Chains A and B, each alone.
Chain A
Amino acid sequence: MLEITYSVRAGDIEHGGTASAWLKVELRKEGVSEQLARRAGVIAFEGEMNLILYATRGGTLHVAVDDAYIEIELNDDGPGIEDLDLAMTPGYSTAPYWAANLGFGAGMGLINMERNSDRFEISSHLGEGTRIVCWIDRRKDDNST
């Protein structure tokens, strides 16, 4: 069992991705396969960067691991996503120009998260915030992502 919560600060581009890179190492220590640690790393990275770039006050990245699942949960308290279908469209991005020039804003963040999850849930309300939960099934560890 492993359970970690990271606080992610809004706008902290400089440290963006730190938690995810560290998470991957922690998961490997926990006996998670390279393949699954990599998938978890991708999910966490996209989630972490979303909190940094878009969440008004940042948010939390919570990871829980047991024998069956790796659960990655992201929470923030605003601004919320107006149109989830649109946000889940490949290439759709609201990243500002400066962020695009740092390599962000491909419009693939949520999609990369979903693709690397065995189960993916997202809920969002304007003015309240966004909650994303991703599960990776460790029992389906067949080395194919």
Chain B
Amino acid sequence: MKFADVMELLDGEILEGVDVSEMIIDRAYAADLLSDVLALTDERTTLITGTISPQVIRVADILNVIAIIFVRGKRPPKSVVTYAQRVGIPVMCTKKTMFESCGLLYANGVRPCKNRPVSGPGSGCSK
């Protein structure tokens, strides 16, 4: 879906001036912990996070994340937004929770990006 549609869906606000409304958002990753974000292997992913420290932008820059959605009504400080602008990463804010944001994007066709497991082989359902 287009960035502009995501904004409408999440009732979001774009914090940065670059016109990216036509940008396609088709993969996402939701994380608050930076090391978790750094375990990403897929590029061209949108990051959904509730962490607003400047490191989020640095990590996103290192990983070639294409856009960042800050959830839970969190607003990064101006310096963080300016930094994102400088490295060309559009940022959006929404008051919605991370759960709802993920749910809505997923329902509209956005899919998880690939990443590697943290430990050991995968395991199915067992009770």
Contacts and interface: CB of A to CB of B under 8 A. Distances in A.
A20 B62 contact: yes
B33 A106 contact: yes
A104 B116 CA distance: 19
A106 B58 contact: no
B55 A103 contact: yes
Contact of B62 (A38, A91, A102): A38
Interface residues of A, number: 30
Contact of B53 (A21, A102, A112): A102
Interface size class of B (residues with CB under 8 A): 20 to 34
A45 B58 contact: yes
Given A16-B55, A112-B39, A145-B41, A103 B62 contact: no
Residue from B32, B39, B55 whose CB has the most chain A CB atoms within 10 Å: B55
Secondary structure of the A contact surface, majority rule? helix
Nearest to B50: A103
Contacts of B38: 42, 45-46, 108, 112
Residue from B53, B58, B118 whose CB has the most chain A CB atoms within 10 Å: B58
Interface of A: 13-18, 20-21, 24, 34, 38, 41-42, 45-46, 49, 90-91, 102-109, 111-112, 115, 145
